[in-house]
Amino acid sequence: MKNSLPLGLALVALLAIPAWADPRTISTSGHGEVRAVPDMAEVRAGVTVTAPTAAQALAANSSRMQSVFAALRKMGVPEKNIQTTNFFVSPQYTNGEGNTARRLTGYQVSNDVTVRLEDTGKLGNTLDALVAAGANQMNGISFSIQNPAPALEKARADAVADARTRAETYAKAAGITLGTVISISEGGGEAPRPVMYRMAAMAAPPAPPPPISAGEQTISADVAMVWEIH
């Protein structure tokens, strides 16, 4: 009975210490990033046609889209990299004056295709070929990296090195030494986001092909590390 009170008080004191309050550790974070040149491009192009009847609009659109697909095949783009992404038929009206009802003036047919190019060097000529084949809508260009894994691996290694450098700086300033790593957790690393460009519709093929620059993309990684200190 004599020992029960001190033991209870000791247990209460132990439970009162926050779980995170560990004086034998130091926590740091690190950031790493690698810049790489995109090696893949996606083009979103299409054909929009307006005609007095839906049948005429469909026929005209189909004819021009067939030319677009033929041009892509001639450029060596494989079928798996060509995908129809939008198709619609919409009636066109003119606004009536006064109490006059709207009047149907025709139909518009739009057909859009997304083309993936695994060689960005072909982008300018591909745009030229699309417009020459009849595409009158250029709805955007995006760039990406086909295999970001090696760059991401390097970014992660740089993030760990950055966290270690910070920990060593703090430890030296505090007069302590780093021990073993207790934990490593990855934070908000970021894969490259596609860079998108939007182009206006062109009525005639440009000459020479339009200059396009892919630029660079950043692949980043962040880590949080906890070290034992002595």
Residues 122, 123, 129: CA angle, nearest 5 degrees:
90
Higher pLDDT, 21 or 177: 177
Over range 196-213, report the average pLDDT: 55
- The total number of residues shown for the chain amounts to 230
Provide the pLDDT confidence category of residue 43 given band limits of 50, 70 and 90.
very high
What was the pLDDT predicted at 189? 57
Over range 43-71, report the average pLDDT: 96
Task: Report domain 40-146+193-213's class.
Answer: alpha beta
Amino acid identity of residue 80, one-letter, is K
What was the pLDDT predicted at 192? 53
Over range 109-116, report the average pLDDT: 97
Domain ranges of the chain: 40-146+193-213
Cα–Cα dist 58/112, whole Å: 13
Place of tokens 């020992």: 3
What was the pLDDT predicted at 103? 87
Provide the pLDDT confidence category of residue 5 given band limits of 50, 70 and 90.
very low
Contacts of 91 (CB under 8 A, 6+ apart): 54, 104, 106, 107, 108
Higher pLDDT, 52 or 98: 52
What was the pLDDT predicted at 209? 65
Is residue 108 scored above 70 in pLDDT? yes
Percent composition of the chain: helix, strand, coil (DSSP 3-state, to 5): 35, 35, 30
Return the minimum-mean-pLDDT range out of 97-111, 120-134, 151-165: 97-111
What was the pLDDT predicted at 200? 46
Over range 108-137, report the average pLDDT: 94
**Chain-wide mean pLDDT for the chain?**
84
- 3-class secondary-structure state, position 98: coil
Over range 197-206, report the average pLDDT: 46
What was the pLDDT predicted at 23? 64
